[in-house]
Amino acid sequence: MSDKHRILVADPISQTGIDLLQAEPSFEVEVKLGLKEAEFCEAAKGVSAIVVRSGVKVTAKVLEAADKLKVVGRAGVGVDNIDIPAASKRGVVVMNTPGGNTVSTAEHAFALMSSLARKIPQAHATVIAGRWDRKHFQGTELNHKVLAVLGMGRIGAEFAKRAKAFGMTVIAYDPYLSANRAQLLGVELRDNLDDAVKDADFITMHMPLTNETKHMLNETRMRKIKKGVRIINCARGGLVDDNALAKLLEEGHVAGAALDVFEVEPPPADYPVLHAPNVVFTPHLGASTGEAQESVGIEIAEQVKDNLLHGTVVNAVNMPNVDPKTLAEIGPFLRFGEILGRLISQIAPQRVEKMRINYSGKLGELDTTLISRGVLKGYLEKPIGADQVNLINAMSTAENLGLKFTESRLPGPTAFNDLIEVHVSNGEDTAVISGSFFGGDPRIVKINGRHVEARPEGTLLLIENDDRPGMIGAYGTILGKNQVNIANMSLSRNVEGGTALTLLTLDSVPTEAVIKELEQIPGVIKIYSMVLE
Ligand SMILES: NC(=O)c1ccc[n+]([C@@H]2O[C@H](COP(=O)([O-])OP(=O)(O)OC[C@H]3O[C@@H](n4cnc5c(N)ncnc54)[C@H](O)[C@@H]3O)[C@@H](O)[C@H]2O)c1
Ligand SMILES: O=C(O)[C@H](O)COP(=O)(O)O
């Protein structure tokens, strides 16, 4: 069995991207195109990475079959052909390459608008059919026309720039766009969609397909737009209700439509809009330029390579980005977070419902999202299994278990430079564990409110006992007799004669029989044996 990472390229990406992957000695690259789901499942077995465009569907079945999968790389923007929840559940990172095809797509959408305005495809067809018909192809200028851009992200903004250069008035509808950005782009921002489109001569769509955006242009809304509007969709099929569009084109309410994308791709022969008048179609070609494909092919190859070799996460759609610099900065906290999670799972009450993590000191100034995922991962290893939970699915796994998770930053100076405090509770009982760094070295500094000090390594024995003479000696005798060496010891008590916590770091794991023997010592209240590695 080869210990190389197998990479499956399941859609055509640039040769430079493939070469980049092939140049890595620890990778084996397989290019298999046009796979049906069953073939895709077979091909996905044992691969570490799958690279796609929008052609194939990375379904839950494919993800299930891909038993060694770590990352799905999308050479492009839209990830609607990938089952993201299923990938997250399986702990697979999904990355795309936003930006690499922006200009190509904006140019293509603009070309569609120009073709529509001047009926270029129809005129072209008559010329090559031997006709010289100059009467039927009178078009319309773009100059002075009103354009509504729905979705003013990367592509929308590039489109708007070009439209302004053509003398168009640009209206933007994008609930997530700031007024400042709109001003910078020189576009009129509208809060209401009907208001944004009602006077438009042209409408262009540039947003992802989501539950919120599906059929954004439906029959009712299109009917409210002034007669003669022309619609361009170079984003995703389904943003416009294509059947309603076909009807309104037939009626002449919509004067023309240019589509690069369809609700079903490829559209079947009886797809109504294909037979409507004044239409221009391309088969999802927005990103199909040499430049865009070179760019996204190289980007995705680099991202997949860095992820498999160094764990770098860039442009992931299902987990926070971690570039090498951030990874170096938060790496020690992340590893310590996992240990704290592992630790608290071993002293937690049953049926924990809530976990809260407080960050203070310098840590409170960092982006702690990943550290929190690390704590959850460590915590969930016990109930779920260490091979089943990772940084990607930790949040969704916790949610599935009904574990409510919150994090907060405690203001003001603390006794420690960096403090991570993990609380778990089932509503009645609580466990709390706190960790800090002493000169860069991680330490457990508090357990259930008691000060302790121990390196988070090896096996820890946490004993709650009555504060009375002879306890330490009794532990030492039993452990010594059973060849278990004590490497470190930390003691803490509430009041003299009250209860005490003894935290022992051991060089080997005590057997259950040894733990039972320790439990028999008069004054011992509870013992937790915590294995950290
Ligand atoms: N035809 C092609 O070949 C092709 C190529 C590249 C991208 N695309 C598609 O184009 C779309 C846009 O890509 P992008 O790179 O500009 O993405 P982007 O993320 O930069 O922009 C998307 C914009 O849509 C906005 N948006 C989200 N929900 C909205 C809503 N309900 N109403 C209005 N606006 C909303 C967002 O705020 C964002 O500004 C994506 O769906 C992408 O898959 C198609
Ligand atoms: O979302 C995208 O990036 C585009 O739809 C391009 O898709 P493609 O890579 O299949 O051309």
Could you please report the per-residue DSSP string of 199-213?
A: T-SEEEE-S---TTT
CA 48 to ligand 1 centroid distance, Å: 29
- Tell me, yes or no, if 42 is annotated catalytic: no
Locate the DSSP E strands across 177-301. 188-189, 202-205, 229-233, 254-259, 279-281
Q: What whole-number distance in Å separates Cα of residue 253 and Cα of residue 278? A: 12
Supply the residue whose CA is at minimum distance from atom 11 of ligand 2.
Answer: 287
Choice from 74, 77, 285 to test ligand 2 binding pocket (greatest atom count within 8 A of CB): 77
Contact of 315 with 321, CB cutoff 8 Å: yes
Atom of ligand 2 nearest to the CA of 296: 9
Q: Which amino acid does the sequence have at 188?
A: E
Percent of the chain with pLDDT over 90: 78
Structure tokens, 194? 């009907």
Locate the DSSP E strands across 410-475. 418-425, 430-438, 441-447, 450-454, 459-466
Q: What average pLDDT does this structure show over 32-54?
A: 98
Contact of 431 with 528, CB cutoff 8 Å: no
Indicate if the pLDDT at residue 439 is higher than 90.
no
Q: Is the CB of 295 under 6 A from ligand 2?
A: no
SS3 (DSSP) at 449: coil
Atom of ligand 2 nearest to the CA of 79: 1
Percent of the chain with pLDDT over 70: 99
CA 396 to ligand 1 centroid distance, Å: 25
Q: What average pLDDT does this structure show over 19-43?
A: 98
Q: Is the CB of 54 under 6 A from ligand 2?
A: yes
Model pLDDT, residue 413: 62
Q: Is the CB of 293 under 6 A from ligand 2?
A: no
Q: What whole-number distance in Å separates Cα of residue 71 and Cα of residue 86? A: 13
CA 154 to ligand 1 centroid distance, Å: 7
Model pLDDT, residue 532: 76
Model pLDDT, residue 64: 97
Indicate if the pLDDT at residue 1 is higher than 70.
no
Phi and psi angles of residue 294, each rounded to the nearest 5 degrees, phi first: -65, -45
Indicate if the pLDDT at residue 327 is higher than 90.
no
Q: Residue 412 — very low, low, confident or very high, per pLDDT cuts 50/70/90?
A: low
Average pLDDT, the chain: 93
**Positive or negative: CA dihedral 287, 292, 293, 299:** negative
How do residues 93-123 score in pLDDT, each as one tens digit? Answer: 999 999 999 999 999 999 999 999 999 999 9
- Tell me, yes or no, if 236 is annotated catalytic: yes
> Which ligand has the minimum distance to the alpha carbon of residue 102?
1
Contact of 452 with 488, CB cutoff 8 Å: no
Q: Is the CB of 53 under 6 A from ligand 2?
A: yes
Model pLDDT, residue 193: 97
Q: Is the CB of 235 under 6 A from ligand 2?
A: no
Q: How far is CA 388 from the centre of its chain?
A: 18
Q: Residue 124 — very low, low, confident or very high, per pLDDT cuts 50/70/90?
A: very high
Model pLDDT, residue 382: 84
CA 62 to ligand 1 centroid distance, Å: 26
Q: What whole-number distance in Å separates Cα of residue 314 and Cα of residue 336? A: 23
Indicate if the pLDDT at residue 8 is higher than 70.
yes
Query: Of 59-68, 125-134, 301-310, 318-327, where does mean pLDDT reach its minimum?
Result: 318-327
Q: What whole-number distance in Å separates Cα of residue 321 and Cα of residue 29? A: 25
DSSP 168-196: -EEEEE-TT--HHHHHHHT-EE-S-HHHH
CA 326 to ligand 2 centroid distance, Å: 30
Q: Is the CB of 101 under 6 A from ligand 2?
A: yes
Q: Residue 483 — very low, low, confident or very high, per pLDDT cuts 50/70/90?
A: very high
Indicate if the pLDDT at residue 232 is higher than 70.
yes
Peptide bond into 121 cis (omega under 30): no
> Which ligand has the minimum distance to the alpha carbon of residue 77?
2
Q: What whole-number distance in Å separates Cα of residue 414 and Cα of residue 429? A: 26
Q: What average pLDDT does this structure show over 23-34?
A: 98
- Tell me, yes or no, if 215 is annotated catalytic: no
Residue 470 backbone class (left: φ over 0; alpha: ψ -120 to 50; beta: rest): left
Q: What whole-number distance in Å separates Cα of residue 36 and Cα of residue 48? A: 20
Indicate if the pLDDT at residue 199 is higher than 90.
yes
Sort strands 49-52 and 27-31 into parallel, antiparallel or unpaired: unpaired
State the catalytic residue, choosing from 74, 284, 373, 443: 284
| Ligand 1 surroundings by CB, under 6 angstroms | 77-78, 98, 101-102, 105, 150-156, 173-177, 206-208, 212-213, 234-236, 260-261, 284, 286-287
How do residues 421-431 score in pLDDT, each as one tens digit? Answer: 999 999 999 99
- Find, among 449, 454, 457, the residue nearest to 436 by Cα: 454
Query: Of 58-67, 156-165, 242-251, 376-385, where does mean pLDDT reach its minimum?
Result: 376-385
Within 311-350, residue ranges assigned H as helices are 324-347
To which residue do tokens 């599935």 refer?
A: 400
Q: Burial of 469 by CB count in 10 Å (0-12 exposed, 13-18 middle, 19+ buried)?
A: exposed
Q: What whole-number distance in Å separates Cα of residue 324 and Cα of residue 219? A: 49
CA 176 to ligand 1 centroid distance, Å: 11
Choice from 80, 207, 263, 291 to test ligand 1 binding pocket (greatest atom count within 8 A of CB): 207
Supply the residue whose CA is at minimum distance from atom 2 of ligand 1.
Answer: 286
Q: What average pLDDT does this structure show over 228-246?
A: 98
Model pLDDT, residue 76: 97
Q: What average pLDDT does this structure show over 27-52?
A: 98
Structure tokens, 10? 């399941």
Supply the residue whose CA is at minimum distance from atom 9 of ligand 1.
Answer: 235
Angle at 376 between CA 532 and CA 458, to 5 degrees: 5
Q: Residue 331 — very low, low, confident or very high, per pLDDT cuts 50/70/90?
A: confident
Domains defined for the chain, CATH in brackets: 5-99+291-310 (3.40.50.720), 102-281 (3.40.50.720), 321-455 (3.30.1330.90), 457-533 (3.30.70.260)
Give the H or E element holding residue 378: helix 369-384
Q: Is the CB of 79 under 6 A from ligand 2?
A: no
Angle at 234 between CA 229 and CA 238, to 5 degrees: 85
Indicate if the pLDDT at residue 366 is higher than 70.
yes
Angle at 372 between CA 367 and CA 376, to 5 degrees: 165
CA 215 to ligand 1 centroid distance, Å: 15
Supply the residue whose CA is at minimum distance from atom 3 of ligand 1.
Answer: 286
Q: Residue 440 — very low, low, confident or very high, per pLDDT cuts 50/70/90?
A: confident
* Residues 6 or more apart whose Cβ sits within 8 Å of residue 495: 467
Supply the residue whose CA is at minimum distance from atom 4 of ligand 1.
Answer: 286
Q: What average pLDDT does this structure show over 378-400?
A: 86
Give the H or E element holding residue 147: strand 146-150
Indicate if the pLDDT at residue 2 is higher than 70.
no
Model pLDDT, residue 175: 86
- In DSSP terms, which residues pair with 477 in a beta bridge? none
Q: How far is CA 336 from the centre of its chain?
A: 23
Whether ipTM tops 0.85, in short, is yes
Select the more confidently predicted residue: 83 or 458: 83
How do residues 135-175 score in pLDDT, each as one tens digit? Answer: 999 999 999 999 999 999 999 999 999 999 999 999 999 98
Q: Which amino acid does the sequence have at 324?
A: P
CA 74 to ligand 1 centroid distance, Å: 15
Select the more confidently predicted residue: 180 or 303: 303
Structure tokens, 238? 């389904």
Q: Give CA torsion, residues 317, 423, 458, 393, to 10 deg.
A: -20
Helix, strand and coil percent figures for the chain, each rounded to 5: 35, 25, 40
Indicate if the pLDDT at residue 322 is higher than 80.
no
Indicate if the pLDDT at residue 387 is higher than 80.
no
Model pLDDT, residue 533: 67
